[in-house]
Chains A and B, each alone.
Chain A
């Protein structure tokens, strides 16, 4: 009864978060940005509930623009995201449904292994901490293992270039929040620019989703382990998994979506069981709740799960309609979206943010132009984490300032 009353008390925060998550349909309107503009309206556990509902709901709604918009031209096939390669073959609706179904089953699998994770993750955090830089290096090396020759060299160069750029941005107080302009430049702006040469995508024929239990379980387990190390993202973990599993666009979609929904669950879980926040929404939860109690954990998780399933139901039910509407806007949206990103970066980070986004865009365009993977540009987050874990930040800072 007490729980039910407490639940009702945060009904408004839950509903606000779940509805705000629908803004995931607007390209590049990231959860962190939405939280930045809305979090002052809530406090304490209410803010935690709002942040969780927003993050889970957003993760579902953002699938629509991710699949149906910003499809580059066929010439950039190697750097193309798997959903886009399916979209160009007239299977966009199939790609979206496969992602949504895989997310659904992975979330259930992630929930099923939650008791195990609560027992084993805290000691694992302690065990992994001294070796985190080496583990990150091993994962990155695994991602490079899929490249050969010039593409490998280009991948390593992009990783190091973006990594050094990220280190400069995160280590020195040149701008307040460099993450949004950095990621917009590395991924958002190049995606829009490349898709200007691409063609608009039709939803395609009405195919049922393809769900693979093996990919779902692998994704759920990788998502559970992802908070152990900083800067890990679903694309990197999925790439690693596919070294050992079947590597096709559909397999990538299945395992990547499975990692994404499980990671979301464990980003919040790790706040409560280890005090580690690995996403913007998890940071908001960590700052909002002063005492990390189990009742609060249950409230945050329940809000997130409810928002997730509600958003899934809406998007699955309306996927065909939503995809038709969004693709009807098609390439005409490109300039509008580009303008929105630039305006957003300026509003959020000022002229310094525009400079960051411009340099990051130059780096972000290179993978597509030379035909290597876009995810190498995640070096901007991974390399600084490795430097910090190895305790080398002081040496490098001293070298730069000397």
Chain B
């Protein structure tokens, strides 16, 4: 096989491998991490963090939820997603301090701090109140 044909074969094999990876990724569950383990090195990773709601604030339709357990981290739900959640699952304006919450999202570094940006309308789950 000449170099060009081999290159085309390599590209097709690579694309097939990446397609398989996309299928696996779509089924993959997020990594459950301790809040204290979150740092800028994990930026971009899909994670799941759990703890209790320490505070909730809203600005321009965006929600900022401070979640604490082994440490504290800010979870961000942007306006469009918050409205979707209100329609289909959860009204974030009704969140109360002390509620046990699990948020799935991507880790992001913003203004020197770490936050978890909620992924979709199923990203916020509540399971009662802490102690």
Chain A residues 342-388 with CB under 8 Å of chain B are 355, 358-359, 362-363, 365-366, 369-370, 384, 387-388
Name the residue on A nearest B3 (C-beta): A369
Docked Cα-Cα span, A393 to B46, in Å, equals 9
Interfacial chain B residues near A387, Cβ < 8 Å = 44
Residue A283 at the B interface, CB < 8 A? yes
Q: Which residues on the A side are within 8 Å of B29 (C-beta)?
A: 173
User: What does the 1/0 interface line of B32-57 toward A look like (CB < 8 Å)?
Assistant: 00000000010111100000000000
Q: Which has the most chain B C-beta neighbours within 10 Å: A75, A172, A391, A401? A: A172
> What residues of chain A lie closer than 8 Å to B21, measured between beta carbons?
165, 168-169, 174, 359
A394: chain B residues at CB < 8 Å are: 105-106, 108, 117, 119
Q: Write the B14-25 contact mask toward A (1 if CB under 8 angstroms, else 0).
A: 110110111011
Q: Is the CB of A388 within 8 A of B22?
A: no
At the interface, yes or no: A170 with Cβ under 8 Å from chain B?
yes
Return the CB mask of B51-73 against A: 1 if under 8 Å, else 0: 00000000000000000000000
Q: A172-B46, A393-B43, A393-B106 are in contact. Are A370 and B7 (CB under 8 A)?
A: yes
- In the complex, chain B residues whose CB is within 8 Å of the CB of A119: none
Query: Is the pair A359, B17 in contact by a Cβ cutoff of 8 Å?
Result: yes
Tally of chain A residues near chain B (CB < 8 A):
34
> A16 contacts the other chain (Cβ, under 8 Å)?
no
Say whether A400 faces chain B, with CB atoms less than 8 Å apart. Answer: yes
B119 and A397 within 8 A (CB): yes
Please name all residues of chain A whose beta carbon is closer than 8 Å to the beta carbon of B117 when the two chains form the complex: 391, 394
Q: How large is the interface on B (under 10, 10 to 19, 20 to 34, 35 or more residues)?
A: 20 to 34
Chain A residues with Cβ below 8 Å from B24 are 174
Which B residues are CB-close (under 8 A) to A369? 3-4, 6-7, 10
A398 close to chain B: CB less than 8 A: yes
Q: A172-B46, A388-B44, A401-B25 are in contact. Are A393 and B10 (CB under 8 A)?
A: no
Q: B25–A359 contact, CB under 8 A?
A: no
Please tell me which one of the listed residues B11, B20, B28, B120 contacts residue A398 in the complex, with CB atoms under 8 A apart: B120
Q: A173-B30, A365-B6 are in contact. Are A168 and B18 (CB under 8 A)?
A: yes
Bound complex: CA of A362 vs CA of B10, how far in Å? 5
Q: Is the CB of A400 within 8 A of B22?
A: yes
Question: Who on chain B is nearest to A352 by CB?
Answer: B24
What's the Cα separation between A394 and B78 when bound, in Å?
Answer: 11
Contact present for A397 and B17 (CB under 8 Å): no
Smallest Cβ distance from A168 to chain B, in angstroms? 5
Question: Which residues of chain B are near A165, meaning CB under 8 Å?
Answer: 14, 17-18, 21
Residues of B within 8 A of A398 (CB): 119-120
Please determine whether B28 and A173 come into contact, CB atoms closer than 8 angstroms.
Answer: yes
The residues of B that contact A322 with a CB separation of less than 8 Å are none
Interface pair B10/A363, CB less than 8 Å apart? yes
Taking CB atoms, residues of chain A closer than 8 Å to B6 are 365, 369
Task: Please tell me if the beta carbons of A362 and B11 are within 8 angstroms of each other in the complex.
Answer: yes
Interface string of A139-165 (1 = CB under 8 A from B): 000000000000000000000010011
Chain A to chain B: the 10 pairs with minimum beta-carbon distance, closest first: A359-B17, A173-B31, A369-B7, A388-B44, A362-B14, A393-B44, A362-B10, A362-B13, A388-B43, A394-B106
Complex A-B: 11 CB contacts under 8 Å? A165-B17, A168-B25, A171-B46, A173-B31, A173-B45, A362-B11, A365-B10, A366-B7, A391-B108, A393-B44, A397-B106
Sample of 6 more A-B contacts, CB < 8 Å, known A355-B20, A394-B117: A161-B18, A174-B21, A358-B17, A362-B10, A370-B3, A393-B106
